[in-house]
Amino acid sequence: LRLQDRKLAHVLCSGPFLHRLLIALAHISCLDTSHISLLEECSIREVETDIVVREPWKQLKYCNSSQKLRRLQDVCCVLRECADLHIIVHALLDLIDSSPEHTIEIILLLNYIVGGGAVDSMKTHT
């Protein structure tokens, strides 16, 4: 994505290239759900237990460091600034329809692109 702005906008108008790029971004932003269980041993949370607020609420499989997540957000910001936002959003909504297994990741990408990644949800709360 280090092309000049006008070249990048032209390249992103290519349907197959945009589709491959968005699929790759969806795979990169895959959520790690290995620590999530619907049936836990205790279904009621104790009020007095210490809740760990320093850990992020979501974990990504492949972006396991804040630097990698920042790069993903930077790519989404470049897409927002240099490409036609209507084309990007329309392509992502088409991907939700054609790839329902990646719906959560595509919605995360939509949030990063449209929201600009301004709010870093992976920051620790103090």
**Residue 47 lies inside a defined structural domain of this protein:** no
Residue 89 has pLDDT above 70, yes or no: yes
Residue at 46 is within a domain: no
- What is the C-alpha to C-alpha distance for residues 32 and 75, in angstroms, rounded to an integer? 21
The answer, yes or no, to whether residue 93 has pLDDT greater than 90, is yes
Mean pLDDT across the chain, nearest whole number?
77
In a domain? residue 67 = yes
pTM over 0.85: no
Task: Kindly state whether residue 108 falls inside one of the protein's structural domains.
Answer: yes
The percentage of the chain sitting over the pLDDT mark of 70, rounded to a whole number, equals 67
Residue 54 domain flag: no
As a whole number of angstroms, the distance between CA 17 and CA 97 comes to: 18
Domain, as residue range, for 78: 1-29+60-117
Closest C-alpha among 66, 76, 82 to residue 109: 76
Please indicate, yes or no, if residue 126 is contained in any of the structural domains.
no
Q: How many domains does the chain have?
A: 1
With beta carbons less than 8 A apart as the criterion, state whether 72 and 25 touch: yes
What is the arithmetic mean of pLDDT over 76-101? 90
